[in-house]
């Protein structure tokens, strides 16, 4: 779609830059019955407020924010700003921004509504030389949330021939959904509009962003980001009706001089990620001129996709310093690990997990029972004593399902085996022949544990721990113990062998904490700390072992599958964009 827009201004450019600017930023995540709660409205408001304050010449005191407030609160704040503007002859600009739910006639503010006709009337009454209204109105979906409930013709398409000096920007065209993104942690249109004001929209190279440049950038990147969305492509739009000539300069990144300067020779897709590895900026760059992006002080990772080849560079941004990034500072990497364009990640991911680790085990009860089991050998001066390792190695294979990259379902199989041999001997002297005779006992003990673990998890964390998951579930542990013994008596020249098998299962609940880190676009590595909750040793639910003496009664060993496990895993993502 070919874009052409001409914005006219009553005052000269110099007058606008020195005059007062006011803004009311309104966000409402709730739209009442039938509307799901939006996830990133607060982020939208904060992003717009910060960029207005830092780069758009708005004093912080002149920016009013309302999040999840009532129509009465909005009316009060509109009156407050109007009174301030009426008392100041140098007010050049007023901006009204809204992120939330809306229909064709109202802003939906929780269980109440604010009529758009009344809002338009109030905007006309603002005694500023130019009014700008920006609307990003939508409802939630999964990874790409929809805004607005039912599809209707956007209210902003209606002509207002009486409006003078007013510009309206809106996030989607007729019969389209607006969308928000888990990847950007903002509404998609707002994310790109804010980035445009921070320098990405600077097409002229003068580090000043006009409203025309900001809209042009936001339009192109919103369309590109939603191109493959399950909700359809989103086309922003605009409407203006003003008098005079000039450019509406809304942002000047020279104000702070804190950020990065991308080399003229860089081209392709550029992603800038902060320390939490959230996307701060996404843009397409042509190799025609330098591009300045205003950033807060900190460390950033810059990813550059040049015709399918991925490069990475690190940038340290200091206060009031522009950090230049040259093309030779980039190093080639294998792929872009965990980021998909536009927040259109598949809501359902499947991963194959290989794990290895160690588990603590309490075999004290089993050990004493085993000693008691062979106590009859004390008649031959043989005293069998069993020992089991405190830690046991585990190897596992499982499958993990991820929903919205936040809810997780896992099915995991683990296996461990303990094999021990015990040799005991005693000697007796025949009082008649004075000959020494040997008695020997050899015991082979093999304990095998097969576990199938199934659970559900949730990822509530942010920042450095945003890849952490807490989970809970149940482990089904099948235990098989095979014991064989060989007894020989040299004096009587006899050898006897016995064998017994104990098998059955335990069901044990568990809780776990996981952390994973992306190594590759389709490979994650991580660790899991898991605790199986079992108060004490229990009989197997089905036991088939009897004493070696067939005349004795049935004998049950008691097992404890509880304890702490530390696993390290690699997960291969079968289904990931």
pLDDT 10s digits, 12-35 = 333 444 568 999 999 998 877 667
The helix (run of H) or strand (run of E) holding residue 45 is helix 41-55
Averaged over 138-150, what is the pLDDT?
38
Give CATH 3.40.50.1460 domain extents, the chain: 13-252
127 touches 85 (CB < 8 A):
yes
| pLDDT value at 231 more than 80 | no
Class of domain 13-252 as given by CATH: alpha beta
Q: Write the DSSP symbol of residue 376.
A: G
Query: Which pLDDT score is estimated for 158?
Result: 41
Query: Which pLDDT score is estimated for 48?
Result: 95
Q: Among 70, 72, 82, which residue's Cα sits nearest to residue 24? A: 82
Q: In the numeric block, which tokens belong to residue 292?
A: 């300045």
**Ramachandran angles phi, psi of 527, nearest 5°:** -135, 155
- Cα separation of 127 and 106, whole Å? 24
Q: In the numeric block, which tokens belong to residue 93?
A: 């600009």
Task: Name the residue with tokens 């895993």.
Answer: 569
| pLDDT value at 225 more than 60 | yes
| pLDDT value at 342 more than 60 | no
| pLDDT value at 363 more than 90 | no
Best mean pLDDT range from 103-112, 266-275, 331-340: 266-275
- Cα separation of 348 and 345, whole Å? 9
* Average pLDDT, rounded, for the chain: 79
| pLDDT value at 561 more than 80 | yes
Q: Candidates 2.60.40.10, 2.30.30.90, 3.40.50.1700, 3.40.50.620; correct CATH number of 256-338?
A: 2.60.40.10
Query: Which pLDDT score is estimated for 269?
Result: 87
**Ramachandran angles phi, psi of 488, nearest 5°:** -130, 140
pLDDT 10s digits, 503-559 = 888 899 999 999 988 777 678 899 999 999 988 888 777 665 544 444 444 566 788
pLDDT 10s digits, 163-192 = 347 788 878 765 566 777 777 888 889 999
Give CATH 2.40.160.20 domain extents, the chain: 348-575
Contacts 24+ apart (CB under 8 A), 556-560: 556/502, 557/366, 557/369, 557/370, 557/373, 557/481, 557/502, 558/365, 558/366, 558/369, 559/366, 559/479, 559/506, 560/361, 560/362, 560/363, 560/365, 560/366, 560/534, 560/536
Asked if CATH classification 3.40.50.720 holds for the domain at 348-575, the reply, yes or no, is: no
Give CATH 2.60.40.10 domain extents, the chain: 256-338
pLDDT 10s digits, 272-315 = 988 777 788 888 888 888 888 988 888 999 989 888 788 889 99
pLDDT band at 471 (very low <50, low <70, confident <90, very high): very high
| pLDDT value at 67 more than 90 | yes
> What proportion of the chain, given as a percentage, has pLDDT over 70?
80
């Amino acid at each position: 779609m070919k874009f052409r827009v001409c914005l006219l201004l009553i005052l000269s450019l110099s007058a606008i830059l020195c005059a007062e600017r006011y803004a009311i930023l309104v966000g409402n995540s709730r739209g009442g019955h039938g509307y799901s709660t939006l996830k990133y409205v607060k982020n939208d408001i904060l992003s717009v407020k910060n960029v207005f304050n830092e780069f758009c010449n708005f004093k912080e005191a002149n920016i009013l924010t309302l999040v999840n407030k009532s129509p009465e609160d909005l009316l009060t704040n509109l009156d407050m700003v109007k009174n301030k503007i009426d008392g100041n002859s140098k007010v050049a600009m007023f901006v009204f921004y809204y992120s939330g739910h809306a229909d064709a006639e109202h802003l939906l503010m929780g269980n109440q509504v604010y009529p758009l006709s009344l809002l338009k009337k109030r905007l006309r009454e603002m005694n500023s030389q130019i009014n700008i209204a920006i609307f990003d109105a939508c409802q939630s979906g999964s990874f790409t949330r929809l805004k607005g409930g039912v599809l209707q013709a956007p209210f902003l398409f209606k002509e207002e021939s009486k409006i003078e000096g007013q510009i309206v920007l809106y996030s989607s065209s007729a019969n389209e959904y607006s969308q928000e993104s888990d990847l950007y942690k903002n509404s998609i249109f707002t994310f790109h509009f804010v980035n445009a004001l921070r320098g990405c929209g600077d097409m002229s190279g003068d580090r000043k962003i006009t409203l025309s440049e900001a809209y042009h950038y936001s339009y192109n990147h919103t369309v590109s980001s939603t191109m493959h969305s399950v909700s359809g492509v989103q086309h922003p739009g605009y409407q203006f009706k003003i008098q005079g000539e000039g450019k509406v300069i809304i942002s000047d990144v020279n104000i702070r001089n804190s950020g990065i300067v991308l080399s003229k020779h860089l081209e392709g897709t550029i992603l800038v990620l902060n320390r939490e590895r959230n996307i701060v900026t996404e843009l397409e760059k042509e190799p025609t001129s330098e591009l300045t992006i205003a950033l807060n002080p900190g460390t950033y990772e810059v990813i550059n996709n040049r015709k399918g080849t991925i490069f990475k560079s690190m940038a340290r941004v200091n206060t009031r310093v522009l950090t230049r990034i040259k093309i030779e500072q980039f190093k080639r990497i294998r792929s872009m690990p965990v980021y998909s364009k536009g927040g259109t990640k598949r809501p359902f991911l499947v991963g194959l997990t290989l794990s290895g680790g160690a588990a603590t085990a309490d075999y004290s009860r089993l050990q004493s029972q085993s000693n008691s089991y062979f106590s009859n050998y004390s008649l031959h001066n043989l005293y069998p004593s069993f020992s089991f390792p405190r830690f046991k190695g585990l190897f596992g294979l499982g499958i993990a399902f991820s929903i919205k990259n936040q809810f997780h379902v896992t099915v995991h199989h683990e296996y461990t085996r303990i094999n021990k041999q015990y040799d005991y001997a005693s000697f007796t002297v025949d009082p008649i022949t004075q000959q020494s005779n040997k008695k020997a006992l050899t015991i082979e003990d093999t304990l095998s544990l097969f576990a199938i673990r199934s659970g559900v998890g949730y990822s509530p964390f942010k920042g450095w721990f945003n890849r952490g998951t807490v989970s809970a579930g149940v482990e089904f542990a099948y235990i098989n113990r095979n014991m064989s013994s060989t007894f020989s008596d040299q004096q009587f020249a006899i050898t006897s062998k016995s064998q017994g098998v104990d098998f059955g299962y335990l069901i044990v609940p568990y809780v776990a904490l996981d952390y994973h880190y992306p190594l590759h676009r389709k490979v994650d590595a991580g660790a899991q700390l898991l605790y199986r909750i079992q108060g004490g040793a229990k009989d197997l639910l089905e036991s088939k072992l009897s004493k070696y003496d067939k005349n004795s009664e049935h004998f049950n060993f008691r097992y404890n599958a509880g304890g702490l496990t530390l696993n390290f895993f690699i997960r291969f993502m079968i289904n990931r964009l």
